[in-house]
Chains A and B, each alone.
Chain A
Amino acid sequence: MTAARTTAYLDHAATTPMLPQAARVLTEELARTGNPSSLHASGRAARRVVEEARERLAASLGARPSEVLWTSGGTEADNLAIKGLFWARRTQDASRRRILVSAVEHHAVLDPAFWMAEHAGAELVLLPVDHEGVVDLDALRAELEANAEHAALLSVMWANNEVGTLQPLAEVVALARRYGVPVHADAVQAVGQVPVDFAASGLDALTVTGHKVGGPGGAGALLARRGLELTPVLHGGGQERGVRSGTLDAALLASFAVAVEEAVTTRASAAPRLAALRDELVAGVRAIDPTAVLRGPADPARRLPANAHLTFPGCEGDSLLYLLDSAGVEASTGSACQAGVPRPSHVLLAMGVDEDDARGALRFSLGRTSTSDDVAALLTALPAVLERARAAGLSGSSRATSSSAAPRAAGTHDEQVA
């Protein structure tokens, strides 16, 4: 068959095109020989690239260079934060077993937390969220009042990857600090879209990754406050203060740091443009389908500027995804795939959306290369896509109605004869 020509890429939250500067730095540095841990001249040259990248990344995010721990990406940084903090805190005080995470965290936070509960003696506390996906501060306060001395850590994301909700991190941090509980935030989706300043945030640890901001895949970092104790997850050569072993890839890290710097420095002009484009997209979709529901905060100031998440009643996300893909429009159902199996999103379910409505979810996410043409391509394709998807219905659902051709066709046929 002829492959559908991509006319509109609306899935920048999954990954976004590399910035030209980042691609240039990557290709330039790739040819360099030298292990940053080697002591000879080539090693020193590579080390210099790594440390300059560290300074660049730190400066872009309001951190000190020594607070940057390079990782292979967001997932590893989240795992290091959850596991490393839990083990370090528990070593200090064996009664600190409770891991507090919001119910709408990315799987890279949720799954290590669940794993620690199953395998490492942790007690998992899932903090509820309201219908906009905002973490319930009263529930957090109640949990801390009752059990703060048993809390190992708290992890609440900066911005939700599915519905774009910005979390009230200042309040979260203030509460936790009152009880001496360290706070980690996954800021993978936030960097480059909203101001992110590690020092000003009061956070103890923060996750950032390259490929969401126009950098390369396979590069990320955990910012860890000075003096924060982290038990290593990867053991080996002792790189990164002994917390994260593994040979550093100078080219990858240099490119990553340049991308973060560029995303942060251009944010002030890019974000309003993307927000306007997003509003155009949402208004256009609602004009076509007034029953579509925008999920996440109604107030644009409390959601990511480049995120639009909608549910379409009576449609199944995978039908919508297929039909849009055939029409050259690339989006996402928004939920993390489990082995490529689309399940109703845990984020939407935590927000109180019922399972059938959750199945009709689509996330449109914009990026630096997005234009009005992309939005127009979506709006052109959408009416026919919705019509078809509604006809296909919620096939896997309990609400599904039996189709016109009943399974026992011959039975009905015979009845006409009889």
Chain B
Amino acid sequence: MMRVLAALSGGVDSAVAAARAVDAGHEVVGVHMALSRTRDQLRTGSRGCCSIEDAGDARRAADVLGIPYYVWDLSQRFEETVVADFLAEYAAGRTPNPCVRCNEHVKFATLLDKALALGFDAVCTGHYARVVERADGTRELHRARDAAKDQSYVLAVMGPDRLARSLFPLGDVSSKDETRREAAERGLSVSAKPDSYDICFVADGDTQGFLRDRLGAQPGEVVDSRGEVVGTHDGAYAYTVGQRRGLALGRPAADGRPRYVLRVEPVANRVVVGPADELVVDRVLADRAVWYDDRYDAWRDDAARAGGGLGPVSVQVRAHGAPVAATVEPPARHGEVDRVAVRLHEPLRGVAPGQSLVVYAGTRVLGQATVTSTERVGGTAQATAQAPAQAVVRTTA
């Protein structure tokens, strides 16, 4: 039996997760995080975690489960980390994932730290991911049983220390329908509540409008890869690599093929567009790496000496993207801790800087980092250094 703080968003997933924690015999206390600073947003917030309706639903779920319920105001932390990062990343021409940053800075940081300080043993959320305990008591983060709902991609940022203090009771659920069915059986009124997809702090779902309000209009040029001006924009920050819609280009491409955003150049305030094949990349560089396995360190040092890579692994570079086979390159310098480069075995289109790069061995998360840049190297990426890699990439059944 543990003392568990269940984060209750007001949605069906977190309510059922908390119910399962209660069933498991834990002493559970429900907490709803107030993340919005303004009353307006509280009132009109979209599906997400910020509206008054959500807070009421969370309270009602706690009532039904018979657990205490509190609202904790984490809005300042949320604004200073998640929202500030969101704006800074877009302003820098990258494409942030605010759910990753929220998990990194708020849910599995501020909330978890506060819970531990107040005497809780763990935080429980409604994320879809599995935690597998190894014989030595350490834990592995795995994809959820339901691949369609899997959220290991946005959780990977938390790292092993925080994983040790986290419960994801929905990791073994076969589908969202099963969660809804279970919620209905338990008498949780949120069972039929629609899923949330929007960014919770962008109340009306208009991300571009939000960015314009907060960053101001910054008109500039849209150019093709030869530098020729093909259109204008109201702020380069509003564009994402791989984006096709909403470009409003004055002139069609010479060959008539559709054009996509290839790059965002924040200093020049330019958006570079071009044909789809120029979006293709097969090498991804990332920083702020987090690894889940101590043996990674040994491999990395060995690999640096031997010049081999770690693989084959699979990597995922966007929240709902399919995983692709890849090899993690050895560190560029001995002892390099923060950066990682991967060679993709099949090229990908439209990998946006700012997104998370998550490295998997089968279903198991090996590590994650934040994409800084991409390249097209060409040729065939080779998988090497099998022996040390095997030591790390021990896929758990």
* Residues in chain A within 8 A of chain B (CB atoms): 1, 3-4, 318-319, 321-323, 325-326, 337-343, 388-389, 391-393, 395-398, 400, 403, 405, 407-411, 413-415, 417-418
Contact = CB atoms under 8 A, between A and B. Distances in A.
Contact of B119 (A340, A388, A396, A413): A388
Given A410-B160, A411-B338, A338 B39 contact: yes
Contact of B74 (A388, A396, A413): A396
Contact of A403 (B109, B160, B288): B109
Contacts of B80: 398
Given A319-B118, A337-B71, 9 more contacts: A322-B118, A325-B68, A388-B117, A395-B110, A407-B105, A409-B162, A410-B159, A414-B338, A417-B301
A213 B51 CA distance: 34
B367 interface: yes
Contacts of B28: 1
Nearest to A343: B73
B124 to A, nearest CB: 13
Closest 9 CB pairs of A and B: A418-B335, A392-B117, A414-B337, A409-B159, A410-B290, A403-B113, A341-B34, A391-B117, A1-B27
Interface in B32-78: 32, 34, 39, 42-43, 52, 55-56, 59, 66-68, 70-77
Interface string B136-178: 0000000000000000000001111110000000000000000
A407 B162 CA distance: 8
Nearest to B31: A322
A318 B161 contact: no
B98 to A, nearest CB: 15
B68 A392 contact: no
Contact of B42 (A341, A403, A415): A341
A408 B156 CA distance: 11
B297 interface: yes
A318 B160 contact: no
Contacts of A405: 113, 161-162
B78 to A, nearest CB: 8
Nearest to A342: B73
Contacts of A392: 113-114, 117-118
B77 A396 contact: yes
A102 B86 CA distance: 39
Contacts of A407: 104-105, 108-109, 157-159
Given A1-B27, A318-B70, A341 B118 contact: no
A409 B117 contact: no
A393 B119 CA distance: 13
B102 to A, nearest CB: 12
Contacts of A410: 159-160, 289-292, 367
A396 B162 contact: no
Contacts of B111: 395
Contacts of A391: 117-118
B29 interface: yes
A340 B39 CA distance: 12
Contacts of A325: 68
B70 A409 contact: no
A65 B287 CA distance: 76
A323 B118 contact: yes
A362 to B, nearest CB: 14
10 contacts: A339-B34, A339-B42, A340-B34, A343-B73, A392-B113, A397-B76, A398-B80, A405-B161, A407-B159, A410-B367
A388 B290 contact: no
Contact of B71 (A319, A341, A393, A403): A341
Contacts of A418: 335-337
A141 B32 CA distance: 45
Contact of B70 (A321, A393, A397, A411): A321
A396 B118 contact: no
B118 A411 contact: no
A201 B292 CA distance: 71
Nearest to A323: B118
